[in-house]
Amino acid sequence: MTSSPLLSTLARATALVSTLLGLVAGAAGPVRAEPVRTLLLAYPTPPEQRTFAEHLTLLWRGANQPTTERLALELGGEATARLRLVERGRGDFTPVTSAEAARLLPARPALSVLGVLWPELLHAVTAGPDPQTVGLPLTASVRVTPGAGYAFDALVEWSLDKPEQLRLLGMAPPLAEQTAPFAGLDGDVLLFSAPAPLAALSEALAAPGSRLRLVPFSGRLVEDFKLIYPWLQSVNVARGAYPAMSRNMVLPARYLVLVGRLDLPGPTVAKLVRTLYKKGSAVGEDAPLLAGLEAERNALFGKLLRFHAEAARAYGLDAP
Show the domains of the chain with their CATH numbers.
36-118+255-315 (3.40.190.10), 121-254 (3.40.190.10)
Indicate if the pLDDT at residue 18 is higher than 60.
no
Pure H helices in 62-143: 79-87, 98-104
141 in Cβ contact with 189 (< 8 Å): yes
pLDDT score, position 46? 84
Question: According to the model, what pLDDT value does residue 318 have?
Answer: 81
Please, what is the average pLDDT of the chain? 85
Pairing type for strands 169-171 and 142-144 reads parallel
Q: Is the pLDDT of residue 107 over 70?
A: yes
Residue 249 — very low, low, confident or very high, per pLDDT cuts 50/70/90?
very high
- Indicate whether 104 pLDDT > 60: yes
Confidence of residue 180 (pLDDT cuts 50, 70, 90): low
pLDDT at 157 over 60: yes
Which residues are within 8 A (CB) of 40 and not within 5 positions of it... i.e. 6 or more apart? 74, 75, 76, 82, 85, 86, 91, 93, 94
Question: Across residues 127-149, what is the average pLDDT?
Answer: 91
Cα angle: 113, vertex 151, 288; to 5 degrees: 50
278 or 10, which is more confident: 278
Range with the poorest average pLDDT among 20-34, 48-62, 223-237, 273-287: 20-34
Mean of pLDDT values over 248-274: 95
Question: Is the pLDDT confidence value at 164 over 90?
Answer: yes
Query: What is the pLDDT at residue 224?
Result: 95
20-29, 73-82, 170-179, 236-245: lowest mean pLDDT where? 20-29
Strand partners, 39: 73, 93
For residues 52-79, give the mean pLDDT: 84
**Is the pLDDT reported for residue 32 higher than 50?**
no
